[in-house]
Amino acid sequence: MKAFSSLIRQEALIMARNHLFMVLAIVLAASAGSIHLVRWYDASRTAPERPAMLQAGGHRLAVEYLPASVAEPPLAERMAVALMVCEVLILGFLFGSVGLFQEKEEGSLRAYRLSPGGQARWIGAKLTLWTGLSVAYAFALLGTAALRLDGASLAGIALVTALGGCLMTALGLAISACFQNLSQWFIPGVGVLLVNMLPLAFQGATNPPVWLWLIPGWPALQAYGQLLSGAGQAAGGGVALSWLVVWLLAANCLMLPTLAWVVRRRIFKEARS
């Protein structure tokens, strides 16, 4: 347990030297400020109008337009959902990869490979750190953006963020393990991030294409949409929240053994050669 915690501290120190926490604070302030700005703009556009008046035969009738039966989520809420998918869940994918390349450059990874620490402990420390940071950052974003949610919704967001953050961190580590430095990783890594953002183009679609289920961002996008709206259930024929969680859990069950295999062949095998 002591060795495991020392690995987490080492990863945190690497990120602190890279001023990660300052970067996250700046991005958090910009994201929360954008949500507040969009909420203010949306409220100014949807100010209640005076009912129209009709006059016929000496009688004046007030005409009031009723809202649609299925209201579209507010723009600020949709923006928050997009930020949860494209900002919160990619923390481990992006910064975990940067930390891995820095460990290679500094030689600390080679030193650890020669120690009896083991591969499972190394992977577990990285997944624990970045999954925890993803959940903490998600709640920080919700708090600074003044998004009021009940306890059940907050618990659901913590679960979805933990599963999604773990999945994206594992995917990022598996990809970065196949490259020697950040320059080689950059184009493939950014390409994966762009693919993960594709579901945003279908946000709110009633009949989205089936291939979206191959992208981790799609079930996470639907889950956050339900949780931030306070519905907690599918609307308009969508998939229930429980099945979205099952999808994320199953994806982790597939990704984690894949990560272990890639790390064993691409990183820890070098210590024995």
Q: What is the pLDDT of residues 228-261, one digit of tens each?
A: 987 555 544 468 899 999 999 999 999 999 999 9
- Whether 62 maps to a domain, the answer reads no
> Which pLDDT does position 114 carry in this prediction?
80
More confident residue, 57 or 161: 161
**Residues 191 and 204: beta-carbon distance below 8 Å:** no
- Whether 170 maps to a domain, the answer reads yes
pLDDT band at 174 (very low <50, low <70, confident <90, very high): very high
- Whether 204 maps to a domain, the answer reads yes
Side-chain-facing half-sphere of 139: CA atoms under 13 Å: 14
- Whether 131 maps to a domain, the answer reads yes
Q: Please tell me the pTM assigned to this model.
A: 0.85
> Which pLDDT does position 270 carry in this prediction?
57
Burial 248-273 (b: 16+ CB within 10 A, else e): beebbeebbeebbebbeeebbeeeee
* DSSP structure string for 112-147: HHTSTT-HHHHHHHHHHHHHHHHHHHHHHHHHHTT-
- Distance (Å, rounded) from C-alpha 8 to C-alpha 122? 9
- Whether 48 maps to a domain, the answer reads no
Residue (of 227, 270, 264, 5) closest to 128 by Cα position: 5
How many domains does the chain fold into? 1
Tokens describing residue 44 = 């100014």
Range(s) of the domain holding residue 143 = 2-38+73-271
59 strand-pairing partners: 56
- Whether 16 maps to a domain, the answer reads yes
pLDDT band at 169 (very low <50, low <70, confident <90, very high): very high
3-state secondary structure of 164: helix
pLDDT band at 214 (very low <50, low <70, confident <90, very high): very high
pLDDT cut 70: percent of the chain above it: 85
The contacts of residue 248 (CB under 8 Å, 6+ apart) are: 160, 163, 164, 167, 216, 219, 220, 223
Whole-number mean pLDDT of the chain?
A: 85
pLDDT band at 66 (very low <50, low <70, confident <90, very high): low
More confident residue, 171 or 108: 171
Burial class (CB in 10 A: 0-12, 13-18, 19+), 140: middle
Alpha helices in 46-107 (DSSP H): 75-83, 91-106
- Whether 65 maps to a domain, the answer reads no
- Whether 51 maps to a domain, the answer reads no
**Residues 269 and 108: beta-carbon distance below 8 Å:** no
Q: Rounded mean pLDDT of 121-144?
A: 94
Task: Check whether 69 has a pLDDT greater than 90.
Answer: no
